[in-house]
Amino acid sequence: MPRTTKMPMAVLLALTLGPAIAIGATLWFVASLVPECTIDETDRLTSPDNQFDLVVFSRNCGDTAPNTQAALVPPGEDVPFDAASFYSVGAAADLAPRWVSPTAIELSSPAGATTYRNDDTVAGVIVTYKTGS
């Protein structure tokens, strides 16, 4: 009958905990290299029917170019980190947002700036853009 030997507990712990600690430390180090993003709100307007807040904001993720974005969020809630904006432009700009009705909003789009996104509707709300501000 073949002889079996048991692995000592200290060796077993070293072989399982060592790699787990190394992986955890690596993930912690890599996460510290990724810049933390902040959201800076410049305007917040509640819709006439209190269904949405129209929020104009910029997202700052370390050394990034100026940007201005607009999104609809539930009334009073913070803009989530991963908010999907319906309008995004590569400039710091005053969008002069306004609710035209409960189902229509108007934004000013800065002339000469690169527009990354400008949806015509969002959550059933029609978006109109004025150019040249």
Q: What would the pLDDT profile of 15-49 be if each residue is shown by its tens digit?
A: 888 888 888 888 887 777 766 778 899 999 999 99
Decide: 70 and 95 in contact? Cβ < 8 Å. Answer: yes
Question: What does the pLDDT read at residue 1?
Answer: 63
Using DSSP's 3-state secondary structure scheme, residue 126 falls into strand
Asked if the structure places residue 78 within a domain, the reply is yes
Asked if the structure places residue 28 within a domain, the reply is no
Q: How far from chain centre, in Å, is Cα 48?
A: 26
pLDDT at 117 over 80: yes
Question: What does the pLDDT read at residue 35?
Answer: 64
How does 23-43 read in b/e, with b if 16+ C-beta sit within 10 Å?
eeeeeeeeeeeeeeeebeebb
Asked if the structure places residue 46 within a domain, the reply is yes
Mean pLDDT for 81-88 is 87
How many angstroms separate the most distant Cα atoms in the chain? Answer: 89
Asked if the structure places residue 85 within a domain, the reply is yes
Q: What is the arrangement of strands in the sheet containing 87-89, beginning at the earlier edge strand?
A: 38-46, 53-60, 68-73, 87-89, 115-118
Domain count, the chain: 1
Q: Count Cα atoms within 13 angstroms, Cβ side, for 23.
A: 6
Which band of pLDDT confidence, cut at 50, 70 and 90, is reported for residue 132?
Answer: low
Asked if the structure places residue 33 within a domain, the reply is no
Q: Which domain holds residue 106?
A: 38-131
Asked if the structure places residue 57 within a domain, the reply is yes
Asked if the structure places residue 12 within a domain, the reply is no
Q: Who wins on pLDDT, 30 or 88?
A: 88
Mean pLDDT for 108-128 is 93
Asked if the structure places residue 22 within a domain, the reply is no
